[in-house]
Amino acid sequence: MIKKGSKQTITKAIIPVAGYGTRFLPATKAQPKEMLPIVDKPVIQYIVEAAVAAGIKEIIIVTSTNKRAVEDHFDRSPELEKWLAKSGKKQLLEELRYIPRMANFVYIRQKGPIGNGTPVLNAKPLIGNEPFAVFYGDEFYTGKTSWIKQMIKVYEKYQDPVMALAKVTKEETNRYGIVDGIEVDKNIIEIKSIVEKPGPKKAKSNLASIGGYILTPDIFPILENLKPGKGGEVWLADAVKKLSQERPIYGCEINGKLYDAGTIMGWLRANVELALEHNKTGGEFKKYLRQLKY
């Protein structure tokens, strides 16, 4: 455990992308779901940009077979850059050159049992004794302040793990981990319990854990000894629940708009809403929607 008073800057983030993306099949048969575009950028780039805006320097992407496109996206593309330069497309050239420069990208293959706890444990040698962030490649928030920066500020204040929280509908309590706790500051909850997908009748609040975590290295021994849970998978939420028995866990209710692009409806919603705001498509797309008949 990191000692209180020994403040450390969070500079590393883990993004697991090893899943099959079954909700989007057959589109994800040969393409990672994290690379599905929202307007003109893949989903994962929205997460990386928010992390970089929050001061993250190193992005650890945990991959698997058929995820090579993620690595290629955050790498240089000399031939394409050469063609853009020759064609005089300077703005596009700068946009592409910026992508691999955003952070130091590290890639490791997922090994071990299925579940979203495994990729975090796989990254242990790269984390060491530092606090770190975990974000999923298909959930993000938009807003004036980077949602990841909001979480980091909560960590800096309490020096304990933090999870991103968003208000959901009663029906959506069937889809997410729902927390119960005490509000200790504006938009900050000290978590007392986390129940995975409790449903409307059993949910103790409408606050769901969505987006990711700021974690401390004492999560690793718990993950190493964690038995598979629901569906025979190793769940990070189960490890966080065990960690909450040893130290406080805080929830940061994010000030921003949540986009869960891990579902078809969520992905479609993100495309429509962000296309309306985009400087390249907003005006024309708005006109198209107004004249659309269905």
Predicted TM-score (pTM) of the model is 0.91
Region 240-261: mean pLDDT is 93
Of the candidates 92, 107, 111, the residue with the CA atom closest to the CA atom of residue 44: 107
Dmax of the chain from CA atoms?
62
Of the candidates 130, 134, 90, the residue with the CA atom closest to the CA atom of residue 116: 134
Q: Which of 43-57, 112-126, 228-242 has the highest mean pLDDT?
A: 43-57
User: What pLDDT does 193 receive?
Assistant: 86
Q: What is the band of 2 on the pLDDT scale with cuts at 50, 70, 90?
A: low
Region 69-81: mean pLDDT is 94
* Helices 78-86/90-101 angle, 10° precision: 160
Of the candidates 255, 280, 129, the residue with the CA atom closest to the CA atom of residue 187: 255
Question: Residues 195-228: pLDDT tens digits?
Answer: 878 888 888 888 999 889 999 999 999 999 888 7
Of the candidates 144, 89, 117, 137, the residue with the CA atom closest to the CA atom of residue 235: 117
User: What pLDDT does 4 receive?
Assistant: 52
Region 99-108: mean pLDDT is 95
Region 77-106: mean pLDDT is 94
- List of domains in the chain: 12-291 (3.90.550.10)
Region 93-111: mean pLDDT is 94
User: What pLDDT does 217 receive?
Assistant: 95
Question: Residues 3-38: pLDDT tens digits?
Answer: 555 577 899 999 999 888 889 999 999 899 999 999
Mean pLDDT of the chain: 90
Q: Which helix (H) or strand (E) holds 185?
A: strand 177-185
- Is omega for the bond preceding 26 within 30 degrees of 0, making it cis? yes
DSSP 265-277: HHHHHHHHHHHHH
Region 57-79: mean pLDDT is 93
Region 184-202: mean pLDDT is 88
